[in-house]
Structure formats: structure tokens, C-alpha cells
Chain A
Amino acid sequence: MNYLYHLYIEFLSKHGISQIFGDITFYAIPLVIIFVALLIVILALVLIERKLLGFFTQRKGPNRVGIWGVLQTVADAFKLLCKENVTPKGVDRVLFNLAPILIFIPIPVALGLIPYSSEFTFMDFGTNLLLYVAIATLPVLCILLGGWASNNKYSLMGAMRNVSQILAYELPIAFTVLSVATLASSLNLTQITLAQSSKYGVLGWYILPCIIGFVIMFISILAELNRCPFDLPEAESELICGYNTEYSGMRFAMFY
């Protein structure tokens, strides 16, 4: 890390740029890179999911915008941006507008906690695993907020279902996380990652000793994300997408 920093400052001073600029940008550049990479990954994953869903259901999937439908998600996001943000009558305006903003906060925080290399983490402190677990439950509060503020019975029911589902599946997640923490005897994500490195490569990962935990974790994550078959809170067929029924435009897109 220090070596990279000195290299960067040296490079800047060679071109006559002050050190203050270097101090600021040294942390900003990787941030930008990570955000761009994240966006690309999201776009790719969404495209792959839509393509596969298309193939499963006898359809072609997106294939009009860009080659192989690559730009379809961008087009959809652009469309949602252009759409009017309707605020229905009778909603709690402050909470209704706050929920989609708050739901975006955990993402940068979680990104800051991920150890990108042994030294490069934005927030590296002794117990950042706990912060990670805590921050991962924030979306459910936002969903409850949105569902409550929407003044819609379907939204409220969807939000309530979501809360009860998260309550049910949060505990197994915490336990599986703790089992990994016990094996690494640390609550620091960097330490846990380093503890898994061995000369046997993949075989040294904690997925093998914690294989049951891995399965539990995978199922619980599906439930946390409200994906099939745990899509009760969003049940299109009965609750009309639940908590985000009243949302439109970009506010609606923020929930995804």
C-alpha cells in the first residue's frame, strides 16, 4: 500500500502536480474503479439472468438493444429515470421519499468493508464483520418504511411479510457467519480472508469445513433478497409486488 502510494506521488511530482492532489485522488481512483466495475458486473448479471429466464421460458430474452441485448438494462434504467415520480395522495411524503434513498446506503458501506487485497480496504478495523452483518439488514427497514408510508394495504402487507421473513432468516445467517469467524478466530474480514489462504488453494477455503453452513447461508441469502422461492413479500400474484406497489420511476428502480 505504502509502496503504491509513493509510486503514485512520485509519478505526479514528475509531471509537476502537487502532493495534496495526489493525497485526495489516491483514494478516489480505486473508489471510481470499483464503482464502475460494480456497475458493469450488475449489468452483466442482470443481462445473463434475463437471457437465461428467457431460455427457460421459450423466449429469446432481450436481443434488440445493442448486440445480444447488452444495452437493454441501460435502456431500462434510462427509461425509469425519465419517468415521472408519482407521489400518490395520502402517503407520508417524507418517509415515502426517504425509503428509496436510504435503501441505497448499505451498498457503498458494504463495498467499503470488502477486503480487496491484504492491505487495501476502505474501512479496516477489528470487528468490521459485525458492521457488515448489521448493515445488511438495513434494507428491510427501508422496505418497511416504504410499505408503511405508501398508505396501501398491499404494500403494508408485503412489508410486514418481508420483516417476518428477514427475522426468520437473519438468525441462521448470523450463525453461519459466526462459524466462519470462529474458525478464523477473528471478526475482521481481512483476517478471515487471509486465514483461508493455504498452499492447497481452493481446498483451504472454509466452504469445506462449513459445507452445511454454506448451504444454509445460500438458502438464507435467497430469502434475504426475496428471490424465488422466497418471494412471498413481493408475491406478484396476491400482493401485486408488495411494498413497491405505489412507487414509480427511479424510486421504484432503487428498490432493486
Chain B
Amino acid sequence: MTKLKLNLGPQHPSTHGVLRLILELEGEKILSCEPDVGYLHRGMEKMAEKLSYIQYLPLVDRIDYLAGFFYSELLCRTVEKALDIELSSRVKNIRVLMLELNRIASHLLWIGAFLMDLGAVSPFFYAFRERELILKYFEKVTGQRMMNNYFVYGGVRRDIFDLEDVENIIKILPSKLNDYEKIITDNPIFIQRTKGKGSLNSDVALNFGITGVNLRTSGINLDIRSNDYLYKDIEFKPVVLLGKDAWCRYKARILEIKESINIIKQILGKLKQSTGVEQTFVNPLNIKLPQGEYYSEIEAPRGLASVYIKSTEEKTPYRLKWRTGSYYSVNLLRKLLVGEYLNDAIAIAGSLDIILPEVDK
């Protein structure tokens, strides 16, 4: 049988942006897969070397437009660490609230997009309906739906308000999640297309540098939130499953949303007790990090995200490096897709939650 070389992407509806996979097919069976990234490269790291810290802050939301809060938190956190700024507890709580809402929004979008990849159109609309509630709240508080630019060095841009909206969201979400589970989780077609597909063993996952939900579904308990200073006073249980397959990754994200709802419930109680946000004022025109190297990390929806800054006491960093979860997931496709069929390939690639702006930066 002759081999067929298929160019999946970059203009393909289910590559979640502009991923290009060069597949070698025999019939519909994949013999080899070569991911080609870089179609959305915006030079995020090089730009940092030309812009001052306050100029760079609005750009980092765009590294992952579905989880912008995480990246601005990451940059803020690193600069605060370098400048020895201690955040007030209310600021910390506001940040956790926004991060967790963002995580829910991101996972909801993933559920919709993943089922769209499998050919089910309606869950996409359901997931977007719930995501809309969260984005509406973001718009109310930060003025933006997606690239929020809400966290600033030393605090947040403005105090939080209308907490009843958040209460409303966490009241509605669990019942809606139950609805999803009724439609999706035990659906025989869904199970047939995802159970046992894209099985990821823990040693492979570790070798490829996979983090986040994808790693936790292969049985390794690694959730950076456990020793994150923002989450110090919050009780939560990392979602660890042993299924290793695409179905398990779906289930884990549903459970993560539920866990996030728990976190938000705790945060809401704390936020209601205090009023008025105390912020440390950082002169935005004169942020200079002391000479040295700084590193911090966070549990983003798509895995461990971290930033490394090398400073030479200039107004701009000497070098800034981002580590994003999706980049490693894309590399994993090289291994996971071999031997699978084309239709499963889409399901597997979708289940890893790859988002291209995060890969290309």
C-alpha cells in the first residue's frame, strides 16, 4: 500500500488555531506525525527585551488568550518577588478568584471544542452559554472579556465588586455540569471514541515534560497549586485519575471545574469579610528589577507555566523566557498519534488541550 502524506493544517478547523501536523498515512492509519509550530509566533520573549515592565504587562495576556489572568499573574508575581512586595490578603484572594474563574472558563471552552472535534455540535453552545456568564463578570470588573490586563505589580487595577454575580455563577454551574455529564460522560458514542484512545503512560508523560491535567490523568500527583503562596489558606484536592486516556482527560477537567467551584466558595467567604483593597504602589515608570535571575511558576489550565527573568538593573529585562504547557503537549503528538487512525488523531490532539498562541508565543 502506498503511503499518503497529509498536511493537517495550518488552516484546518480542528487544529485549534494554526497547528500544522505533517502526517504519513497508510490508508487512514498514521505512520508518523511531525508537528510544525510557529505560525502564530509574535516574538513575545524578544518584545520583553525592548519594552519596560509596565509596557509589557498588557501583552502577556495574549500568550494564552483563554487563560490570560494566569500569565499576567505570573509576570506580576515575578516582579513582586524581585522587588520584595508583600501583597495584602484581599489582593491575594481577588487574584485567586479571578484565576479560578478563568480556569473554569478555559476548561468549559475546552469541553465545547473537544466535543466539536468529535463531531458533537450542541455541547459547544452549552459550554459557551456558561462561559459567557464568567466573561460577563470579567467585563464588568476589568472592562475586558478576554485580555483583561487586570493584575498590576503590587495589586490589582481596581477593587472587586458585585460578588453576587460570582455567587450566581457557582450556583448555576454545578447543575449545568450535571447536565453535561448526563449528555456526554456515559454517551456510548463518546465512550467509544475516547476510551482507551491516546493512552499516556506516566513515564512517557514525564519524559516529554507534560504537566497539568494531562499529567495528572496518568496518575502523577503534581499540582503546583499545592505549594503556591496564593493558595496557602485554601483547602483543595488535586484531581488525579488513573485512566490515562482521552475520556479520562475529559472527566478530569469536569472534576477540576468542580474543584475550582469549591475554591471560589471559600474565597467568596473571605472576600466578604474584608472591604477596601490595600495596594502597594509601584511607580510604573520606574520599575527596575535588581540584578539577578528570577523564576516563578503557576498551575495554568494547560499545565505548568513559568517565567524566567534575567535582569541587569535596566528598565527592561535582559532576557525573559516563558514556559508553557501546550508546547510540550504538541511535541507529545509525535508519539501519541503513531498507529492511530485519522479520526482518533483529532480526538487525541483535542484531548491534550493544545492552544496555539501559547505554543508559539
Interface residues of A (CB under 8 A from B): 56-59, 153, 157, 228-229, 231-232, 235-240
B343 touches A238 (CB 8 A): yes
User: B2 on the interface (CB 8 Å rule)?
Assistant: no
A selection of 14 A-B contacts at a CB cut-off of 8 Å is A57-B124, A58-B126, A58-B129, A153-B6, A157-B28, A228-B119, A229-B119, A236-B13, A236-B14, A236-B119, A238-B14, A238-B117, A238-B346, A240-B13
Nearest chain B CB to A60's CB is how many angstroms away? 12
Using CB atoms, name the residue of chain A closest to B129.
Answer: A58
| Chain A contact residues, majority secondary structure | loop
Once the chains bind, are B342 and A237 in contact (CB under 8 Å)?
Answer: no
Given A157-B342, A228-B119, A240-B12, 19 new contacts (CB under 8 A): A56-B122, A57-B122, A58-B125, A58-B129, A59-B125, A153-B6, A229-B189, A232-B343, A235-B119, A236-B14, A236-B119, A237-B13, A237-B116, A237-B118, A237-B119, A237-B346, A238-B342, A238-B343, A238-B346
Question: What's the nearest-Cβ distance from chain A to residue B345, in Å?
Answer: 8
Nearest chain A CB to B183's CB is how many angstroms away? 11
Residues of A with C-beta under 8 A to B126: 57-58
Q: Which residues of A contact B4 (CB under 8 A)?
A: 153
Query: How near does chain A come to B186, taking the closest CB pair, in angstroms?
Result: 16
Which residues of the other chain, B, contact A240 by a CB distance below 8 angstroms?
Answer: 12-13
Interface residues as binary, B19-31 with A (CB distance below 8 Å gives 1, 0 otherwise) = 0000000001000
Q: Of all chain B residues, which has the CB nearest A241?
A: B13
Q: Which of A153, A157, A237, A240 has the most C-beta atoms of chain B within 10 angstroms of its own C-beta?
A: A237
Q: A153, A228, A231, A237: which contacts B117 (Cβ < 8 A)? A: A237
Known contacts A157-B342, A236-B13, A237-B14; A231/B121 CB under 8 A: no
Q: Please state if A57 and B125 are interface contacts (CB–CB under 8 Å).
A: yes
Residue of A nearest to B122 (CB): A57
Minimal Cβ-Cβ distance residue in A for B344: A238
B117: A residues at CB distance < 8 A: 237-238
Residues from chain A with Cβ under 8 Å of B14 in the complex: 236-238
A127 to chain B: closest CB distance in Å?
A: 38
On chain B, the residues within 8 Å of A58 by CB distance are 125-126, 129
Give 4 closest A-B pairs by Cβ, nearest first: A57-B125, A237-B14, A238-B346, A57-B122
